[in-house]
C-alpha cells in the first residue's frame, strides 16, 4: 500500500472525528499521532535500512497537505516531526532513527528563541562543556520562544551557540523529558490550538557530548541546507491543504443551500461563483509553486533557494485570502463550529507569523533578486 492509502482510513476514522475537539480543547492529537505511528507513517522519511519507508520530501508534502485539509494542528505536528527526522537521519544515532522508523518516537525542532525571535538561525542560548567523574557532558541553557509538540514529543532537535568553534550555531539531540526543561506557560491562542506549541526554558540541561548533531559551529549549514527547504515546503503544504479544506467545505455549502422561494441554490448566484473561482485559482497557484519548489529541490536547480524562500510566504498569504473567501461565500453558516470553516480561517493566520515570517521572507527574497547577500 502507498503512504496515502495507509493515511486514508486514519483521516476518516481517527483524525476527522477528533479535529473539532483538538481545536476546542486545545488538546494534542495523541490518538492521531499514535495511529500514524502504528501505520509506519511517522517513519515515512526514515531510511529503509533502519526500518523506515524511505520516502522523501515529495511524499512528506503529500502527507502534510492531506492532513491539513481536516486538521492543520495535526499537520503542523507532522510537519515538524519530518523536519526533525530529516536532521536526525543525517546526523543522529541509529537507535533513535530506528525508533522513529518504527513509529515509536516523535521529534520536533526547538530553534526560535525569545531573544532572537523569528531569526531562528541565530540562537542566543548557550552550550558549555562540563567534565566530571561520569565523563564529558554538555550543559544547555536557553529560552526557546515556541516549540511545536513541546513536552508531547519524545525529543528535540535543539540549537545553541557553538560549544567552542567559530560559527553561528550548533545542533543537539535533546530528550524531551530531560531534567531542567520547563514550560513557562501554556498556549491558548487563536489558531493551531492543538499542536502544543509553547515556550520551553532550559536551565542547566545536561546532554552527552555524543548528542551533538553535526560539527560544532556548523548548525547554520544544517539549518539552511536541510531544515529550511523541508520546513518551508511542509509549512506551505499545510497552508495549501488548509485552502483545499476550506474550498471543499465552501463549495459543499453553496451547492446544497437553497433559496426555496426562488428555487435556486447559492451556487446559482454569479457573485458566489466568482468568489469561488478566485479561491480555486489562488489555491491552484499555490499548489503549482509548491510542486515546482519540490521539483527544484529534488533536481538541485539554480533557482532552488529562491523557490524555498518564496513557497512558504506565498502559501501563507494566499491561505489568508482563500479562507476569507470561504467565510464570505458561506456567510453566517461559516461561523458555526461544526462547519469547520472558521477553524480553518483561524488556523490559516498562524503561518504568516511563524518563523521565518512572511515579512522576513520578503526581505530575503528581495535580497536574493537584487544580488545582495541574505545574511
Residue 374 lies in a domain: no
Whether 325 is in a domain gets the answer yes
Q: In the chain, pLDDT over 90 holds for what percent of residues? A: 87
- Say what percent of the chain tops pLDDT 70: 97
CA atoms within 13 A on the CB side of 54: 4
Dist CA 84 CA 227 (whole Å)? 8
Per-residue confidence (pLDDT) for residue 227, from 0 to 100: 97
pLDDT tens digits along 170-228: 999 999 999 999 999 888 889 999 999 999 999 999 999 999 999 999 999 999 999 99
Residue 176 and residue 141 share a domain: yes
Q: CA-CA distance, 281 to 284, in Å (whole number)?
A: 5
- Indicate whether 283 pLDDT > 70: yes
Partner residues linked to 131 by β-bridges: 136
Beta strands in the chain, from DSSP E residues, in sequence order: 107-110, 126-132, 135-147, 155-160, 170-175, 181-182, 198-208, 212-213, 258-259, 264-265
User: pLDDT: is 120 or 320 the higher one?
Assistant: 320
Whether residues 128 and 213 fall in one domain: yes
Which of residues 217, 252, 279 is at a domain's end? Answer: 217
Q: Are 322 and 246 in contact, with CB atoms under 8 Å apart?
A: yes
Q: What is the pLDDT of residue 179?
A: 96
Question: Is 344 contained in some domain?
Answer: yes
In this prediction, residue 258 carries a pLDDT of: 54
- Looking at the structure, do residues 240 and 332 belong to the same domain, yes or no? yes
Q: Each residue of 336-348: pLDDT tens digit?
A: 888 899 999 999 9
Average pLDDT along the chain: 94
Structural domain count of the chain: 3
Domain boundary among 106, 124, 150: 106
* Confidence at 259, pLDDT banded by 50, 70, 90: low
Backbone angles phi, psi at 59, to 5 degrees: -70, -35
Residue 319 grid cell: 491561505
Q: Residue 158: its pLDDT value, please?
A: 98
Are 210 and 238 members of one domain?
Answer: no
Give residue 284's pLDDT. 98
Give yes or no: residues 186 and 234 share one domain: no
Angle of CA points 20, 25, 30, to nearest 5°: 80
Quick check: 224 and 121 in contact, CB under 8 A? yes
Same domain, 98 and 80: yes
What per-residue confidence (pLDDT) applies to 189?
87
Q: Is there a domain that residue 52 lies in?
A: yes
Q: What is the pLDDT of residue 324?
A: 97
Whether residues 42 and 92 share a domain: the answer is: yes
Q: Return the higher-pLDDT residue of 130 and 133.
A: 130
> Of the candidates 217, 251, 281, which is a domain's last residue?
217
Q: Is residue 278 part of a domain?
A: yes
Residue 338 vs residues 132, 296, 297: alpha-carbon distances, Å:
58, 39, 39
Confidence band (pLDDT; 50, 70, 90) for 256? Answer: confident
Asked whether residue 375 is assigned to any structural domain, the reply reads no
| Residue 154 lies in domain | 110-217
89-112 confidence digits (pLDDT tens): 999 999 999 999 999 999 999 999
Let me know if residue 199 belongs to a domain.
Answer: yes
Mean pLDDT of 12-39: 97
Residues 212 and 270 in one domain: no
269 — pLDDT class (breaks 50, 70, 90): confident
Same domain, 235 and 343: yes
| pLDDT at residue 261, as a whole number | 54
Model confidence at 132: pLDDT above 80: no
Mean pLDDT within 45-49: 98
Same-domain check for residues 232 and 213: no
CATH of the domain at 7: 1.10.540.10
Dist. CA 330–CA 272, nearest whole Å: 9
Asked whether residue 135 carries a pLDDT value surpassing 90, the answer given is: no
For residue 209, give the CATH number of its domain: 2.40.110.10
343 shares a domain with 357: yes
pLDDT band of residue 81 (cuts 50, 70, 90) is: very high
Distance CA 228, CA 119 (A): 12
Angle at 97 between CA 93 and CA 103, to 5 degrees: 155
- Place 365 in a pLDDT band, splitting at 50, 70 and 90: very high
Pair (296, 278) in one structural domain: yes
**Residue 308: CATH number of its domain:** 1.20.140.10
**25 inside domain:** yes
Q: What is the pLDDT of residue 58?
A: 98
Report the C-alpha gap between 335 and 69 in whole angstroms.
18
* Alpha carbons 191 and 353: distance in angstroms, whole number: 12
Amino acid at each position: 500500500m502507498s503512504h496515502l492509502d495507509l493515511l486514508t482510513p486514519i483521516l476518516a476514522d481517527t483524525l476527522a472525528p477528533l479535529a473539532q475537539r483538538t481545536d476546542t480543547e486545545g488538546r494534542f492529537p495523541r490518538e492521531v499521532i499514535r495511529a500514524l505511528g502504528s501505520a509506519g507513517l511517522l517513519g515515512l522519511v526514515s531510511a529503509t535500512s533502519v526500518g523506515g519507508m524511505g520516502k522523501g520530501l515529495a511524499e512528506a508534502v503529500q502527507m502534510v497537505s492531506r492532513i491539513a485539509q481536516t486538521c492543520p494542528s495535526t499537520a503542523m505536528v507532522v510537519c515538524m516531526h519530518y523536519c526533525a527526522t530529516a536532521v536526525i537521519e543525517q546526523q543522529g544515532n541509529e537507535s533513535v532513527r530506528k525508533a522513529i522508523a518504527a513509529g515509536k518516537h516523535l521529534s520536533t525542532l526547538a530553534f526560535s528563541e525569545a531573544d532572537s525571535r523569528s531569526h531562528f538561525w541565530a540562537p542566543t542560548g548557550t552550550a558549555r562543556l562540563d567534565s566530571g567523574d561520569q565523563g564529558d557532558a554538555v550543559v544547555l541553557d536557553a529560552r526557546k520562544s515556541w516549540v511545536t509538540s513541546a513536552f508531547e514529543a519524545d525529543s528535540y532537535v535543539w540549537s545553541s551557540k557553538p560549544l567552542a568553534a567559530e560559527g553561528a550555531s550548533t545542533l543537539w539531540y535533546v530528550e524531551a523529558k530531560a531534567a531542567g526543561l520547563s514550560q513557562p506557560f501554556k498556549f491558548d491562542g487563536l489558531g493551531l490550538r492543538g499542536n502544543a506549541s509553547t515556550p520551553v526554558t532550559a536551565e542547566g540541561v545536561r546532554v552527552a557530548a555524543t548528542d551533538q548533531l553535526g560539527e560544532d559551529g556548523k548548525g547554520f549549514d544544517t539549518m539552511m541546507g536541510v531544515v529550511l527547504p523541508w520546513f518551508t515546503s511542509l509549512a506551505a503544504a499545510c497552508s495549501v491543504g488548509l485552502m483545499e479544506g476550506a474550498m471543499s467545505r465552501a463549495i459543499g455549502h453553496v451547492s446544497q443551500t437553497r433559496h426555496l422561494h426562488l428555487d435556486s441554490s447559492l451556487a446559482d448566484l454569479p457573485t458566489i461563483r466568482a468568489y469561488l473561482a478566485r479561491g480555486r485559482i489562488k489555491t491552484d497557484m499555490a499548489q503549482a509553486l509548491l510542486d515546482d519548489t519540490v521539483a527544484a529541490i529534488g533536481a538541485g536547480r539554480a533557482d532552488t533557494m529562491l523557490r524555498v524562500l518564496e513557497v512558504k510566504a506565498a502559501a501563507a498569504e494566499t491561505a489568508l485570502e482563500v479562507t476569507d473567501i470561504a467565510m464570505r461565500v458561506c456567510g453566517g453558516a461559516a461561523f458555526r463550529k461544526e462547519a469547520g470553516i472558521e477553524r480553518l480561517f483561524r488556523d490559516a493566520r498562524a503561518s504568516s507569523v511563524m518563523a521565518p515570517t512572511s515579512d522576513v521572507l520578503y526581505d530575503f527574497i528581495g535580497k536574493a533578486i537584487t544580488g545582495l547577500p541574505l545574511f
